[in-house]
Every structure is written in C-alpha cells, then in structure tokens.
C-alpha cells in the first residue's frame, strides 16, 4: 500500500505561545479556551475532513505573563471525554505529565476515555516543561532531566501493564453458570521499580484498540530515546526541510535499534498553513499575523518560559544576555542551551535574544491551495513526516485548508477519502498490542 499523509488538528483557543494577539481577533470568542462547544465544533470539522486526531496540549503552571490560552483553559481528559460523545471516528489525544501524575490514576483515566470514545484515545506523554509546576504538587523544585525521563519510561511501562489487567475474554457474563468474571483472566501487575510501586490490577477492561496510543514530543537526547522506546506517534519540532529530514531519520533509526518496526511510530511535524486565493494574498496575511502577534513584552515573557518562567524584565535589556545557564537544566534545556550558546557566540544583548526568539520566519505551507498542497507533497516525499499537526488561527482558516487543500491531496492519492477504521490505531495503521498475559514475554517487559 502506498504511504498516505496523516493529519491532526491542534486548536489554539484564544492563543498559545507567541500568539499574543489572537484573543483580539473578532472571529475568536473570548471564552474559546473554556467553551466545550468550540472544541466540539473544531473536532467535528476535522472529522468531516477525515483528520486522524484532535490534539490538546496542557500545562499546570501559570503566572500573569503566560499566553492567554494558558490562563484559562479546560483540563484535557475532561474536555476530550465530552468531545468523544459528539464524534465517531476522530482520534482524541490529550497531554498529561508523567512527572505530576500517578500511573494507576492516569492509566484509569485514559482507559476510560478509550472506552467512552470506542477506542480513539491517545496520550501525549510529557515530563513537564514548566519548572514552577513542582510548587503546585508540594515539591520544592522540579526534577532534573535524568530523573524525569527515567520516571517517564517506567510510568509508560506501568500504564501499559495496567491496561493489560484483563484478558479479552475475562468476562463471560454467563447467567446460567453464575459466572460474570473468569478470575483466571484477571492479572495483578505487582510492579516494583525505581520510581513506582503499583500492585494493580486496573478495574477496567481493554478497549477496541487494546490500549491508548502513546505520543511523545521529545527533542533532547533523552526525549528522542524515550520516543524511540515507547512512542507510537511523535510531535516533531519541524524547522527547515533539512532539519525535519534529519529528525525523521534519527527517530526511525533509534526506533529500529530498540527492535521496533519504524513504521509503527508516526512522526507529525507542526504546521500552521495559511491558505488564500493567491500566493501573494497568503503571504500578505502571514505578515499581518506576525504584526498582530509581535508584542515585545509578551516575547520577553515567552523567553522566560524556557528558563523556568524566569522574569527577564528585571535585567537591562541592552546589556549582554545574563548568565542563566543554571535555570536551563530543569526547564526547557535543549532550546534554552541553544539560546545561551548563540548569545555568547554572537555577543547578543537580552533585547536581541528576545527579538530573535520571535522574529519573522516564513512558513513553508503558505499560498494558494495548489501551492500548499505542492509543498506538503514535496516534504512528504522527502521523508520529513508521516503526518502534520495542523494549527489554524480561526475556523475560517481551517475551512480554507479543508475546502482548498484537502481535495487536492485526495485527488493525488496522498490523503484518505474515507476512514479505514473506527479506532485511532486503525486509522494510523498501528497494530493492536498483544496482551502481555496471553503472549510470550519479551525483553521489552523487563
């Protein structure tokens, strides 16, 4: 079978990082981020266009400088459970932290979403970017990188073990024999590891897709290795075509090195297409959006997120970039370290670094429908992605892509014309995991 493109939708609400002006858009409701009807309509529009999934991000720490969407938004699993009852095919992927949750509780919540949706749940595993989250959970400081990623790997393995608590035929529900459960088909986990001690079993059976699909978004060495070991979907950073190719090849190679089929990990790059009647009109709109969002105060606060929500406004903007390397280790280490290295190499001031983080960068997916489709096809053929995680400023922009670009991709045989399955796994072309209690054990179980 020829490869086809997977598409996911990432709703913005009233604006995430860098979208400082989106909440002012008259077409965006000021309460969009807490309006369940906004998400339902977005999911239904994406499902009508045959998208694979709706993807909801999350974080658990804010201060007054955070992006508008972050200040007032719904908890992902609650949100997606509501959306599940208004959709039939689209996958429902929610972000949840392995650092600030317990395996049993989170495994049960995602398994519940999986049942509510009929097998469409996905978990985006994060180790938490915001260092301030620790104070919301009774900890004095954020865990270091090694601990967070070691905990994440063990967390996923525990969750998968709990999702296998029941064999598929554990419930005969035989009235004549007075047998509801076959106790031999129920399995305790009895896990004891470095970070967790969990007895099990989980009080919920497997869903039609076996287990929720595991997503991850690692960029660092630790993140890439975690993804290669456990992820079935990845939200990749994107960047230039060459950078996307390099990341794609690296993840696929790492996946194979762990004895996994590289086809069983689907890499999604971020895409914010801007579609208009002509290339020129789309490029003008792209520049207008940049100007709407180009707020220096917001950009300075955004820079601080990479360093544990550090307040850079206390520093002289025109002095050399301050020594904050110690803050990067427990924050967004990979991105923060690159900023520090560049600032030193080019002798940049704080103002220059803040400006560089949000300087105008032309997206490759901007233009008339045929132009955007051509670029998507070029990148796909070049081995940069299996899918695109799409983000649109408003419903009108989503409709322009769905009505203009999707039909061209379908005509070229690059995108489906109907859903292949009722589950997220089925539509992504991923296998249903065999229950560990009914198959031969493997090294991955240890």
Question: Per the annotation, where are the binding residues for FMN?
Answer: 58, 95, 149, 220
Residue 299: CB atoms within 10 A of its CB come to 21
Q: Where are the beta strands (DSSP E) in 168-283?
A: 191-192, 197-198, 213-216, 233-236, 266-271, 274-275
DSSP 8-state class, residue 206: -
Nearest Cα to Cα of residue 49 among 409, 428, 413? 409
Residues 6+ apart with CB under 8 A from 73: 13, 33, 34, 58
Residue 213: CB atoms within 10 A of its CB come to 28
Q: Assess contact for 182 and 259: CB atoms under 8 A.
A: no
User: Which residues contribute to the annotated binding site?
Assistant: 58, 95, 149, 220
Over the Cα atoms of the chain, what is R_g? 22
What is the token pair recorded at 218? 């690692």
Q: Assess contact for 151 and 178: CB atoms under 8 A.
A: no
Largest distance between two CA atoms of the chain = 82
């Amino acid at each position: 079978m020829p490869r086809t493109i997977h598409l996911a939708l990432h709703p913005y609400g009233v604006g995430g990082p860098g979208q400082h002006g989106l909440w002012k858009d008259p077409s965006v409701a000021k309460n969009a981020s807490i309006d369940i009807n906004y998400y339902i309509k977005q999911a239904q529009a994406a499902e009508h266009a045959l998208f694979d999934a709706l993807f909801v991000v999350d974080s658990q720490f804010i201060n007054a400088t955070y992006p508008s969407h972050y200040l007032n938004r719904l908890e992902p699993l609650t949100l997606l459970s509501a959306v599940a009852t208004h959709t039939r095919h689209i996958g429902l992927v929610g972000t949840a932290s392995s650092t600030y949750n317990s395996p049993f509780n989170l495994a049960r919540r995602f398994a519940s979403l999986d049942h509510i949706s009929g097998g469409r749940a996905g978990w985006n595993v994060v180790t938490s970017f915001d260092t301030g989250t620790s104070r919301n959970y009774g900890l004095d400081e954020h865990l270091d990188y090694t601990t967070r990623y070691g905990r994440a790997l063990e967390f996923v393995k525990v969750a998968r073990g709990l999702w296998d608590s029941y064999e598929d035929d554990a419930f005969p529900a035989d009235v004549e024999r007075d047998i509801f459960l076959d106790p031999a088909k129920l399995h305790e986990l009895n896990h004891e590891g470095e970070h967790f001690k969990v007895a099990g079993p989980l009080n919920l059976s497997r869903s039609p897709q076996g287990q929720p699909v595991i997503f991850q978004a690692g960029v660092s060495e630790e993140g890439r290795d975690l993804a290669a070991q456990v992820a079935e979907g990845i939200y990749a950073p994107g960047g230039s075509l060459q950078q996307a190719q390099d990341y794609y090849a690296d993840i696929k190679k790492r996946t194979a090195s762990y004895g996994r089929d590289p086809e069983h990990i689907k890499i999604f790059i971020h895409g914010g297409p801007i579609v208009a009647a002509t290339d020129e009109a789309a490029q003008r709109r792209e520049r207008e959006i940049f100007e709407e969002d180009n707020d220096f105060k917001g950009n300075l606060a955004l820079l601080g997120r990479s360093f544990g929500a550090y307040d850079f406004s206390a520093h002289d903007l025109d002095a050399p970039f301050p020594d904050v390397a110690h803050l990067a280790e427990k924050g967004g280490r990979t991105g923060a370290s690159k900023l520090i290295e560049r600032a030193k190499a080019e002798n940049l001031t704080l103002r220059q670094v803040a400006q560089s983080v949000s300087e105008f960068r032309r997206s490759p997916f901007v233009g008339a429908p045929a132009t955007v489709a051509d670029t998507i096809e070029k990148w796909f053929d070049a081995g940069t992605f299996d899918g695109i995680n799409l983000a649109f400023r408003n419903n009108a922009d989503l409709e322009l892509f769905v009505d203009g670009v999707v039909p061209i991709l379908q005509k070229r045989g690059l995108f489906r014309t109907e859903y292949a399955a009722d589950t997220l796994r089925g539509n992504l072309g991923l296998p249903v995991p065999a229950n560990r209690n009914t198959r031969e054990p493997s090294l991955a179980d240890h």
